[in-house]
Amino acid sequence: MQSFDLVIRNATVATAADSTLCDIGITGRKIAALGTKLGAGTREIDATGKLVLPGGIDSHCHIEQPRQNGTTNADTFETATTSAAFGGTTCVICFSPQFKGHGIADQAAGYHQRARKSVIDYSFHIIITDPSPAVIEQELPPLIAAGHRSIKFFMTYEPSFLTDGEVLTVLAAARKNQAFVVIHAENHEAIRWMTARLEAAGLTDAKYHAWAKPALVEREAIQRVIALAELVDVPIQIFHVSSEEGAEEIRRAQGRGLKVYGETCAQYLAFSAADLNRPGQEGSKFLCSPAPRSTADQAALWKHIRLGTLGVVSSDHAPYQFDGPEGKQAIAKVAPFSKIPNGLPGLETRMPFLFSEGVRKGRIDLQTFVAITATNPAKLFGLHPRKGSIACGMDADIAIWDPELTRTVTNAELHHAVDHTPYEGMTLTGWPVTTLVRGKIVMDAGKRLAEPGYGEFQPRETYPLMMPRGEFVTPFNPHDSDSQT
Ligand code: DUC
Ligand code: ZN
Ligand code: ZN
């Protein structure tokens, strides 16, 4: 009888397709067998009463990401990926940046150095803020070929945002070099204009962040970038959709057969604009972009998760301290909402929040939970079939969950290096108790069991979901000047 390095017995194994009761045999890095009464393992785990799920893939997190002003996010690859492992996540996709006027290759090399402290697996999106010919023609193609198979751009934020012409340049380069594109979609000029008016009226508290960027700035930018992507026939994912009207734009595009994918983040389901108005400086803990919306928008986002419009729910982990010289509170005391760093920590709480508020409260079923946290991001970003599900031959990236374990979130018990969590005091039921990455137990019973550096870079090849449709809105293929019919 076949023996294994590790056998997880009596597991209720849930994938995005179904749930079954079986044993999992793991040999080395891989899942070697699924079945009943499997042979012995050198080590065995009895998972009776537990749920055994694919490790989460968080395809949108900012970890130790350098910024043009010389600062980085609050925690490090070691602390951020440790916190991810405690939250049931086994792979992250974070961002190698570009600074205006600079290249992308040196940044990527430096970012690889930082990421070597990762406890779990990782991959990178390449941010483009300045699509110069040197970047687009010389630096980008080899980076994509080396497995950085997704590009991100911004439609807002000074000095990072791209003009519509630059958007088309980047989309065309993605198509030519076979990379997927992810987008922060908000109308820059509208936000700038509203911010100036609010500041002139003396309305500068954190709550006015939501007034400066109402849902329509998201809706307009989503609609515009979908049109630009349709013009050049490039599949895209819209990041962090926060509003019903934003989700509806994506649904409409999907209904027309376009390859437009939607992501939302746990914070848009958990928090609303009212949280920005918490007393004192507390509101700044909820300040992110797009802004948190209304409870009606939250209900609409859950609906669009069920419908599949929003197929991925990530953390957009972007932590800043509350206290300290670069912290949210320190800056907010002397400056308006427009100067408070945008972003929240959320790697560790993403999946427990979605399980507790989603599965336990009946908003989504277990299969949808697995899909939005693991399988869909794996497929959308080219990590599947290596990662994202539980099947023979796949990496043994697995989280064992106690679906009855109830904990009240407190920052002191989280593992990031951030001095607060917006989830403080929230009671959540269902937590991972053991996390495996490529067959190794990296977290068990509240202890980290892997050293920084265990995580491996995950290069990504081309894959079906990223392929263009081969359809253009005129008889002319704009990527091929000989193509006019
Ligand atoms: N908004 C972003 O665009 N990125 C990081 C975090 C945030 O709030
Ligand atoms: Zn963003
Ligand atoms: Zn982000």
Residues 180-205: tens digit of each pLDDT: 999 999 999 999 999 999 999 999 99
| Sheet bearing 310-314, strands edge to edge | 56-58, 89-96, 121-127, 150-154, 180-184, 236-238, 260-265, 310-314
Q: Which of 93, 288, 293, 315 has most ligand 1 atoms within 8 Å of its beta carbon, as the pocket-test mutant? A: 288
- Who surrounds ion ligand 3 at CB < 5 A? 316
Answer yes or no: are the C-beta atoms of 91 and 443 closer than 8 Å. no
Say whether pLDDT at 113 is over 90: yes
Q: Which range (20-24, 101-105, 140-144, 277-281) has the least confidence?
A: 277-281
Ligand 1 atom at shortest distance from the alpha carbon of 288: 8
Q: Whose CA is nearest to atom 7 of ligand 1?
A: 343
Tokens 């080396």 identify what position? 146
Ligand 1 atom at shortest distance from the alpha carbon of 342: 8
Q: How far apart are CA 246 and CA 216, in angstroms?
A: 8
Q: How far apart are CA 229 and CA 167, in angstroms?
A: 9
- Element (H or E) spanning 82, and its range? helix 77-86
Q: Whose CA is nearest to atom 1 of ligand 1?
A: 289
Amino acid at 71: T
pLDDT for the residue 225: 99
Position with higher pLDDT, 305 vs 328: 305
Say whether pLDDT at 110 is over 90: yes
Q: Which range (118-127, 210-219, 297-306, 315-324) has the least confidence?
A: 315-324
Kindly give, in sequence order, each residue whose CB lies less than 8 Å from that of residue 427, ignoring residues fewer than 6 positions away. Answer: 406, 407, 408, 409
Looking at all shown ligands, the one closest to residue 157's CA atom is 1
Looking at all shown ligands, the one closest to residue 344's CA atom is 1
Q: Which range (9-13, 71-75, 272-276, 473-477) has the least confidence?
A: 71-75
Instruction: For residue 14, report the distance from its CA to the centre of ligand 1, in Å.
Output: 32
pLDDT for the residue 336: 85
Instruction: For residue 426, report the distance from its CA to the centre of ligand 1, in Å.
Output: 22
Q: Whose CA is nearest to atom 6 of ligand 1?
A: 343
Instruction: For residue 318, report the distance from its CA to the centre of ligand 1, in Å.
Output: 6
Ligand 1 atom at shortest distance from the alpha carbon of 157: 3
Instruction: For residue 67, report the distance from its CA to the centre of ligand 3, in Å.
Output: 13
Average pLDDT over residues 320-327: 84
Q: Whose CA is nearest to atom 2 of ligand 1?
A: 289
Position with higher pLDDT, 87 vs 484: 87
Say whether pLDDT at 483 is over 70: no
Tokens 């397709």 identify what position? 17
pLDDT-derived band of residue 127, with 50, 70 and 90 as boundaries? very high
Q: Which two tokens stand for residue 120?
A: 């779990």
**Alpha-carbon torsion (62, 65, 71, 73), positive or negative:** positive
Tokens 């009207």 identify what position? 245
Q: Whose CA is nearest to atom 3 of ligand 1?
A: 289
Ligand 1 atom at shortest distance from the alpha carbon of 62: 5
Answer yes or no: are the C-beta atoms of 143 and 136 closer than 8 Å. no
Answer yes or no: are the C-beta atoms of 395 and 48 closer than 8 Å. no
User: Ligand 1 pocket: which residues have CB below 6 Å?
Assistant: 62, 184, 288-289, 316, 318, 342-343
Answer yes or no: are the C-beta atoms of 50 and 403 closer than 8 Å. yes
pLDDT-derived band of residue 325, with 50, 70 and 90 as boundaries? confident
pLDDT-derived band of residue 323, with 50, 70 and 90 as boundaries? confident
pLDDT for the residue 485: 45
Q: What is the mean pLDDT of the chain?
A: 96
Looking at all shown ligands, the one closest to residue 239's CA atom is 2
Q: Which of 157, 217, 240 has most ligand 1 atoms within 8 Å of its beta carbon, as the pocket-test mutant? A: 240
Say whether pLDDT at 338 is over 80: yes
Instruction: For residue 93, report the distance from its CA to the centre of ligand 2, in Å.
Output: 14
The torsion angle over the Cα atoms of residues 364, 365, 366 and 371, rounded to 10 degrees, is: -60
Answer yes or no: are the C-beta atoms of 140 and 108 closer than 8 Å. no
Answer yes or no: are the C-beta atoms of 254 and 235 closer than 8 Å. no
pLDDT digit string, tens, across residues 242-254 = 999 999 999 999 9
Ligand 1 atom at shortest distance from the alpha carbon of 154: 3
Classify each residue of 445-461 as buried b or exposed e, where b means 16 or more C-beta atoms within 10 Å of its C-beta: eeebbbebebbbebebe
Q: How far apart are CA 185 and CA 219, in angstroms?
A: 8
- Write the DSSP symbol of residue 249: H
Instruction: For residue 100, report the distance from its CA to the centre of ligand 1, in Å.
Output: 18
Output the pTM of the full model: 0.97
Amino acid at 29: R
pLDDT digit string, tens, across residues 283-299 = 999 999 999 999 999 99
pLDDT for the residue 163: 98
Looking at all shown ligands, the one closest to residue 125's CA atom is 3
Query: What domains can you pick out in the chain, each with its CATH number?
Result: 54-382+460-466 (3.20.20.140)
Say whether pLDDT at 481 is over 60: yes
pLDDT digit string, tens, across residues 439-461 = 999 999 999 999 999 999 999 99
Instruction: For residue 448, report the distance from its CA to the centre of ligand 2, in Å.
Output: 30
Average pLDDT over residues 141-162: 97
Say whether pLDDT at 74 is over 60: yes
Q: Whose CA is nearest to atom 4 of ligand 1?
A: 343
pLDDT-derived band of residue 332, with 50, 70 and 90 as boundaries? low
Instruction: For residue 483, report the distance from its CA to the centre of ligand 2, in Å.
Output: 36
Nearest to 114 by CA among 76, 80, 149, 144: 76
Q: How far apart are CA 199 and CA 166, in angstroms?
A: 30
- Write the DSSP symbol of residue 312: E
Instruction: For residue 286, report the distance from its CA to the centre of ligand 3, in Å.
Output: 14
Looking at all shown ligands, the one closest to residue 93's CA atom is 3
Looking at all shown ligands, the one closest to residue 291's CA atom is 1
